[in-house]
Chains A and B, each alone.
Chain A
Amino acid sequence: MTSNKKDPVLVVLQMTGAYDALNTFIPYSDPHYPDYRPTLQVGPDEVLAVDDKVGFHPGMGPIKEMYDQGKVAVLQGIGYPSPIRSHFRSLDIWHTAEPEKMITEGWLGKAIRDIDPNKENILTAVNFGRGLPRALAAPGVSVASVGDLSNYGVLTGIQGDDQRTEALDIFARMYAPMIGSGPVSDYLSQTGLDALKGADILSTAPEMYSSSVEYGGSPFAQWLKSIAQVHLAGFGTRVLYTGVNPGTFDTHANQNITLPKLWGDVTSAIGDFYEDLKEHNANEEVVMLLFTEFGRRVQENGSGTDHGSGGVAFVIGDAVKGGLYGEYPSLEPEKLDSGDLQWNNDFRSSYATLLEQWMGLDANPILGATYEQFDFIK
């Protein structure tokens, strides 16, 4: 295993359910804001202001702190052409970087192929969660998808250490490639053995890890802990992906109760993760992208917000040149897009910036076109 800790690493955090951009990064002094949000508004005294116009939701203290240290780029007005309000389709678009038509390859899948064209490292990318997001999918790219790092691998249901060891031993023998059995069989063999090997390597990560940081109990916090473990284990993993469960940020109702708690959990976990990396002197090579599938409607529904468009995303890390990027969409009623924030910042510009300026890859073939880039990477 080759490992160069200084290789840039991208951690993608998917906030599924569509967080409410307007109450996440809040235009608190805009005179229209309280009109749109009679019950959901966050007052100027509560907002974690970054200037006299905008500020973070009060639940986002840990990110605000990192913002103050110049480590957070706020990507305002982010979106894609012809916004769609379906969670699934919109996520697909973020995953494939293709708003026009349905395709199967993910932007990170293609990036992984470029990072490791000869498939030398089966752990170039690791996903934590249930099922592989399409962002990581590409033909010939193998990504380990881990639900629970402490119990990952094949035949985890077999009880007893000896029995399981023996079962895996037989599994390895049965998946050994056989001469003359054809390319499909060889492919299945390789995939099976890779999965076995990947699990073997991954299972050593928690053993090698020790830290004074205590993560919260939510699945997201635990997955970030797993990401820290895998990163710190030095397996050469370059892309790490996790998120919250579908629907988590889908605050149609009771948003005043749920959103502070959600942002509290998520940003504490991110803060803990950063502290953990720092404690191990492994913070400089990690950049995080935090995004959601779309924004929510500007006008609240009395208790929550419905599906809309025009969002905000965040890029976080030591290598990030903190500040505001893109424009905050206007709240003037006539400038809304049928009641939604008008996006002004194509999400693929941020992808291109991350791919080229951070990961050192050629963004054009991955995204299928050239996009204007930001300068949020130092």
Chain B
Amino acid sequence: MVTEIAPITFEYSHTIGRQENRSGSGFFYPIAITRDEENQLYVLNRGSETPAFFPCKRVTVFTVDEELVREFGTKVHPEEADASAPDGTFMWPTAIALDKAGNAYVADEWLNRISVFDKDGECVAKWGTLGDGDGEINRPSGLAFDADDNLYLVDSVNHRVQVFTKEGRFISKFGRFGTGDGEFDHPWGIEIDGNGDVYVADWRNDRIQKFDRDGRFLMKFGTSGQGDGEFNRPTGVAVDKDGIIYVTDFKNDRLQVFHADGAFITTLTGEATLSKWGRERVNLDPSMVRGRERAQGLIEKEKLFHGPIAVDVDDEGRIFVVECSRQRLQIFRKQTANFSGGPL
């Protein structure tokens, strides 16, 4: 008897974003994403190293229907990018996570600072000390809250994960530099699933590692390369309610999807179309409209991922993929088995 399991497939939904160097309805080198309980999306913009752009480094809050809700945070000038940087400013922002109360925690890997913003976008707290001791951090690159509102922080240059209370008090840590199980090389993104298990994008080891809530190694998958299940610098990881794992395979410009056990399912390379904000912008300028009409290979080229860097999923089976080099996110929907009944 042959059993065919319905394959997991994905349908492209839509694209959100456009390039907005300073602020407004768009992004500038978006690097991280999260959602709040009302399913509003928070995108953290890494922005530019070019001092002229202001505020450029910011958090943009918007709906899945591409309505801008608000933005908060701003950049600090490189010359002032030290411990004295004003509250609410960023130099090299990397990660964002929301606590149960809806406060946004933003990590900055240059300032080695976690900034906390309330729902109005006011910076209400900050913490973080450079170092390699317990509770000290060196280039934080990933943030995730567990069910108890404890913050798991990827401490990238110390090649470990540290767990803090949301006030920044050290609780525990795991990991060290290396290539063995439970060891890391400049880890980046982090995700905690419904069981409290922890997934880390072990960036320079080109693999994903999974741990239990106490940091005990559970499994790993992936190796360097371009084939199925291989990675070239994985940056972000997300797990949906069915345990399916999504990984942004940054330098391979693709998203890979895996079963809960790490078995490869499929690869997405991008389906982007013109977003609502993008259409609004293009329509302002007749030369852009004409240019797009005449452009050769536009549809094929524009759909591809460029620098997919972060991924998030919601309980409705939607997958949000952030592309740092294209100032947008692409949204996909996971398809369930198709019964195909009904009238003809």
Contacts and interface: CB of A to CB of B under 8 A. Distances in A.
B281 A301 contact: yes
Interface stretch (B22-30, B89-97, B262-270): B22-30
Nearest to B55: A254
A302 interface: yes
A303 B284 CA distance: 12
Interface stretch (A63-71, A172-180, A242-250, A360-368): A242-250
Given A247-B52, A254-B23, A338 B284 contact: no
Interface in B22-46: 22-25
A348 interface: no
Interface string B267-292: 00000000000001100111100000
B280 A338 contact: no
- A contact face: mostly helix, strand, loop, or mixed: loop
10 contacts: A252-B20, A253-B24, A299-B285, A300-B284, A301-B280, A302-B280, A303-B24, A306-B284, A338-B286, A339-B285
B53 interface: yes
Interface string A296-316: 010111111010000000000
Contacts, number: 42
A299 B284 contact: yes
Q: 10 tightest A-B contacts by CB?
A: A247-B52, A253-B22, A303-B24, A253-B24, A253-B23, A301-B284, A299-B284, A338-B287, A339-B286, A246-B52
A304 B22 CA distance: 10
Contact of B24 (A246, A250, A302): A302
A306 B23 CA distance: 14
Contacts of B23: 253-254, 303
A250 B52 contact: yes
B22 A297 contact: no
Contacts of B281: 301
A252 B21 contact: yes
A247 B53 CA distance: 8
Interface string B49-73: 0001100000000000000000000
Contact of A297 (B24, B53, B285): B285
A245 B51 CA distance: 10
B20, B23, B285, B286 — most chain A CB neighbours (10 Å) = B285
A253 B277 CA distance: 14
Interface in A324-378: 338-339
Interface of A: 17, 245-248, 250, 252-254, 297, 299-304, 306, 338-339
Contacts of B280: 301-302
Contacts of B286: 338-339
Contact of A306 (B24, B25, B53, B285): B285
Contacts of A246: 52
A301 B20 CA distance: 11
B237 to A, nearest CB: 33
A255 to B, nearest CB: 10
Given A247-B53, A300-B284, 4 more contacts: A250-B52, A299-B284, A299-B285, A301-B281
A300 B287 CA distance: 15
B121 to A, nearest CB: 15
Contacts of A253: 20-24
Nearest to A257: B23
Contacts of A306: 284-285
Given A245-B52, A247-B52, A254 B284 contact: no
Nearest to A300: B284
B89 to A, nearest CB: 17
Contacts of A303: 23-25
A17 B25 CA distance: 21
A245 B285 CA distance: 27
Contact of B22 (A252, A300, A302, A339): A252
A338 B23 CA distance: 26
A253 B47 CA distance: 15
A306 B22 CA distance: 12
A248 B53 CA distance: 9
Given A245-B52, A247-B52, A253-B20, A297 B287 contact: no
Contacts of A247: 52-53
A252 B22 CA distance: 8
Nearest to B287: A338
Contacts of A301: 280-281, 284
A241 B27 CA distance: 36
Contacts of B52: 17, 245-248, 250
Nearest to A247: B52
A254 B23 CA distance: 8
B50 to A, nearest CB: 8
Contacts of B24: 253-254, 302-304
Nearest to B19: A252
